[in-house]
A and B are shown apart, each in its own frame.
Chain A
Amino acid sequence: MLGRGLRVRATLVARAGQHQIWRGRGAFACFSTSIQAASSSEKHIAVVGGGAAGLYTASRLLAKAQDIRIDVFEQLPTPYGLVRFGVAPDHPEVKNCTTKFAQVCDDSRVRLFGNIKIGNGPLLSLERLLSVYDGVVLSYGASEDRKLGIPGEDRAGVVSAREFVAWYNGLPEAQELNPDLESSDRVVIVGQGNVGLDCARILLTDPEDLAKTDITARALDRLRRSKVRHVEMVGRRGPLQVAFTTKELREMTKIPGVAFICDRELVARECERWAGQVEKNRSLKRMMDLLLKHATGDPVGGAAGKERSFTLRFLRSPVEVEGGPERGAALGVRFRVNRLEEGAGEAARAVGTDEFVTVPCGMMLRSIGYASTAVDATAPFDRQRGIVPNIGGRVTDGHGQVVPGLYAAGWVKRGPVGVIATTMQDAYHTGDAILADIHNGYIIGNSDKTRAINEMLARAGVLDKCVTNAEWKRLEAFEVEAGRAAGKPREKVTGVAQMLDIVRK
């Protein structure tokens, strides 16, 4: 137990999962079996979720530890998560990070189990994973929406921005979305973040400029037939509180033939009122300069007379979605007008006035944030904050106690905010916590684990059902080849059954 040639009388004081604390007699007052860690025994880590967070965590472990084995579980046959299904098709350079992801999956110490959903049944429960692996990393992100909770939110025509993005990016479960882009020339987007801007840009960009991207063929066809010409993006608060970033906003000012409209006077007033704060904050200042430079048009008359337009509307909260006038607008979104109180930036609060305004549109995209869920019924999850409770990436239970061997990385750890670079830093942080725990003997490897793990995987049907790294690469080659004729980087396969068909051949 304690390594060859070393005999010590010791009593096992505590065992929790894969951790053992020993108390010895005499000179060895208390020690962990870190002596074991010094010898080369493999540490087996399971990663739940094969997106950026999981793969960057794995990458950190692979770089810093030799004797490590990582099993990555991904519910879809295709890994990479939002890098594949979230990043916009006209932002291909952002997807360059997948080169590194592919290196991780190709590493001989890594096994990719695609098409396997952890939490689906007792044989693949989190508890089962914790019983056979030395460490488990929860990195499954956020696959649901924050809701507005207003009447009419479930009307046809109210669409989740997350789902709309997933639809045009080929996520299998979003393919039946069928967004109506033909009954009306206007779309309202609620929420002022980058996801909303992506939706606006995809709706207003000339479809021929999207023809050579990896947008799905179906979405491209719909966009070619789209009658949408005017997109209005509405936020609860003011210009200083927008959640999107300058790069994405700049793109909206550069779409050929699309007028950029926002209340220039409101922006100027807010900038002056909070001039001190704005000056100190480089990114905020650059964003306001951009708004002031490009904002044209009359926020009241809005898009009248413009062929295509993008309007930023501030200080409005949606209170109800009603049916709209029949022709040209299926919906009427009723907004309460707000005013701002208290402070600049994050400190500002929106306070409702007695004024209301109704905006007719054919589709309303809800873009107020993503939301995570629990892996399964017994897994730690803070429903209120929508994250897996943790301290620096080490998961805690309902009483604030660290759950040995359980870690979290990415959006499921800190909330669904942040770009890929943020997630990378965060994942490295979690990886470092795991490495520290290995170094300090809180994670003890054991080469016999391999057999127990493989038995568990066999019993759960994983080995039969999974899509391996080699199979995923075949699927990817198929997609790249299918896209070649149309000049696209790939033509995504958008159905799981079809994916499995291709890789099993």
Chain B
Amino acid sequence: NDVDLEGACEGACACSTCHVILDDKIFDSLPEPTDEENDMLDLAFGLTDTSRLGCQVLLTPDMEGTLIRLPSATRNFYVDGAKPAHH
């Protein structure tokens, strides 16, 4: 998907840097996270009830316009326009 999100393990579900916070409706509509994803979420900073790993969420057209939030301590997001490579 064309979302600029940093992931140290490049989307392999082996870290927690792509941690995102979804809105309730979208969160509920997604399939349950696997044990593997939950194990990584355990280590994420600022975990919420609607947190997921960005690399495990498949964006679909009906999610268009939804707000995806990042945990407050995320420093991965470049504010100067630099964009990490897409995965």
Interface size on A, residues (CB 8 A): 24
Closest to B45 in A: A425
In the complex, whether B82 has a CB less than 8 A from a CB of chain A is yes
Residue B15 contacts which of A63, A421, A428 (CB distance < 8 angstroms)? Answer: A421
Residue B73 contacts which of A96, A282, A425 (CB distance < 8 angstroms)? Answer: A425
CB-defined contacts of A94 to chain B, threshold 8 Å: 9, 12, 14-15
1/0 contact trace for B63-83 toward A, CB 8 Å?
000000000010110101010
B36–chain A nearest beta-carbon distance, Å: 7
Residue A420 contacts which of B8, B45, B75 (CB distance < 8 angstroms)? Answer: B8
A100:B8 contact, CB within 8 angstroms: yes
Chain B: interface residue count, which band? 20 to 34
- Expressed in whole angstroms, the Cα–Cα distance for A194 and B7 within the complex equals 22
1/0 contact trace for B1-28 toward A, CB 8 Å?
0000000111011111100000000000
In the complex, whether A91 has a CB less than 8 A from a CB of chain B is yes
A169–chain B nearest beta-carbon distance, Å: 17
Max count, chain B CB within 10 A of own CB: residue among A99, A245, A282, A283: A283
A250:B16 contact, CB within 8 angstroms: no
1/0 contact trace for A417-430 toward B, CB 8 Å?
00111001100110
B17:A424 contact, CB within 8 angstroms: yes
- Expressed in whole angstroms, the Cα–Cα distance for A250 and B39 within the complex equals 9
B51–chain A nearest beta-carbon distance, Å: 10
Known: A97-B9, A424-B8. A245 touches B35 (CB 8 A): no
Extra pairs beyond A97-B8, A97-B9, A245-B39 (19, CB < 8 Å): A91-B14, A93-B14, A94-B12, A96-B8, A96-B14, A100-B8, A245-B42, A246-B39, A250-B35, A282-B47, A283-B43, A421-B17, A424-B8, A424-B17, A425-B73, A425-B75, A428-B76, A429-B75, A432-B75
Rank and list the top 8 A-B pairs by shortest CB-CB distance, nearest first: A93-B12, A283-B42, A247-B39, A96-B10, A93-B14, A428-B75, A97-B8, A421-B15
Query: Which A residues fall within an 8 A CB radius of B?
Result: 63-64, 91, 93-94, 96-97, 99-100, 245-247, 250, 282-283, 286, 419-421, 424-425, 428-429, 432
